Structure 1
Amino acid sequence: MPVYIRKGPLEIPNYEEQDWIKDEEGDYFLKDPDQIFDSLPQPFRMINKLVNLLFDRAWEIIEEREAAKEVAIIKIQPTVYLPTHRFQLSSVPNCIAICKSYVFVGLSKGLRVFSTLFSYSRVCSWDSIKTEIVSIWATEIGNEVFVAAVDEMGVVRLFYFYKEFLFLIKAVNEMEDISKQTTCLNLQISPKGNFIAILLQGKTN
């Protein structure tokens, strides 16, 4: 294996343009002999060093900017919007729906309707000890509101809200014989309340 020995004093050469040819001829010291065919001649070695230096500096600037952004995000406090009014409920609500100036709340023992116009209080209710409302929909029909509610047994009930009174129209799929009762899987009401779509599943399906 050939041995490469550096000629001249052990000094760091100054890489200036007038020294490129001289350095190419004999002053360049190759530490690893296996890289004799991989080393770049001048001026490409100088260009390679400048590109690497530029890349390192650019990466440092990017990291500094990202760190500054993270600090700025931590310092910025999000805007907190406090509620203007609150409704007092006797039990935990399961679902809510909003239509016109009213809030319809489904509870474990029926339905509650709250007004958002002036008093922010309950205007009416539909109470049922054995009925727990889990889903509720409300849509405007002229000056009235059409309400559909589903309980924990999958029974759909239709209501009519008019002049702060809530009227039960009918229970769609309620049966005296529970073994024959169908369960509501999904329910949708058209925007103007012209029609309602109910997906039902029977016990034998």
Structure 2
Amino acid sequence: MSSPSASRAQKMRLPLFTQKGQLEVPSPTEKDWLKDDDEGYVFKDPDQELDSLPQPYRMINKLVNSLFDRSWEVIEDRDRLREAELSRIKPTVYLPVFENKLSKMPKCMAISQDYAFIAEDKGFAIYNLYSAQQIYECEKLKVDVVSIWATDLGSETLIAPLDEMGIIRLFYLCKDGLFFIKTINEVVSA
């Protein structure tokens, strides 16, 4: 005859295990225990037992969960990008001190020391970077300047404008003025 506590133990089940058949209460001696006790129990997810839905609803549930997971990943990516953008060091912006309108459309530009050399249609102009004033203008060239190069020579500057015919003219800029030195690649007609 079983005691009331034994029948109560037979009816009790742990939420993590599902029983295949009747629960037997082992006798107090170890030699009487069954060797196949583990075969009667199967490990299952406790959440899955409670949420067993019919097939169409399980599919809908999976789709909704998948959509939610993807949306959450997109939100996390946007947050990471926003944080990275905010953590970047912003460059210092210097507003212009002077405004100078050019009389002609510039083709190209070079900077050397305190001067800006701007190539124009039939020559080039030299501007002071600090005052934004035009210092010299050379309009004696008969063709358009397509490229200009300038380099420092201490307190002087060497300028080499290249025109559309492939001819380079060397100029020398110093405190006294702008001087023409020589022409390179000029075709001598006979």
- Check whether TM > 0.5: yes
TM-score calculated relative to the size of structure 2: 0.57
Q: Tell me what 1:92 maps to.
A: 105
Change (3 A) 1:130 1:150: same
RMSD: 3.6
Q: Does the CA contact (< 8 Å) of 1:103 and 1:114 recur in 2?
A: yes
Q: Does the CA contact (< 8 Å) of 1:157 and 1:169 recur in 2?
A: yes
Deviation (angstroms), 1:154: 1.0
Cα distance in 2 for partners of 1:170, 1:64 equals: 66
Cα distance in 2 for partners of 1:88, 1:60 equals: 52
Change (3 A) 1:126 1:61: same
Query: Rg bigger for which structure?
Result: 2
Residue identity in the other structure for 1:84: V
Q: Does the CA contact (< 8 Å) of 2:16 and 2:45 recur in 1?
A: no
Deviation (angstroms), 1:89: 1.2
Q: Tell me what 1:17 maps to.
A: 16
Change (3 A) 1:164 1:87: farther
Structure 1: tracts of 5 or more residues without a match: 1-14, 24-41, 181-205
Q: Does the CA contact (< 8 Å) of 1:101 and 1:115 recur in 2?
A: yes
Matched, 1:143 2:155: yes
* Percent of matched pairs sharing the same residue: 31
Change (3 A) 1:101 1:164: farther
Cα distance in 2 for partners of 1:131, 1:164 equals: 27
Deviation (angstroms), 1:114: 0.5
Q: Tell me what 2:168 maps to.
A: 156
Q: Does the CA contact (< 8 Å) of 1:125 and 1:166 recur in 2?
A: no
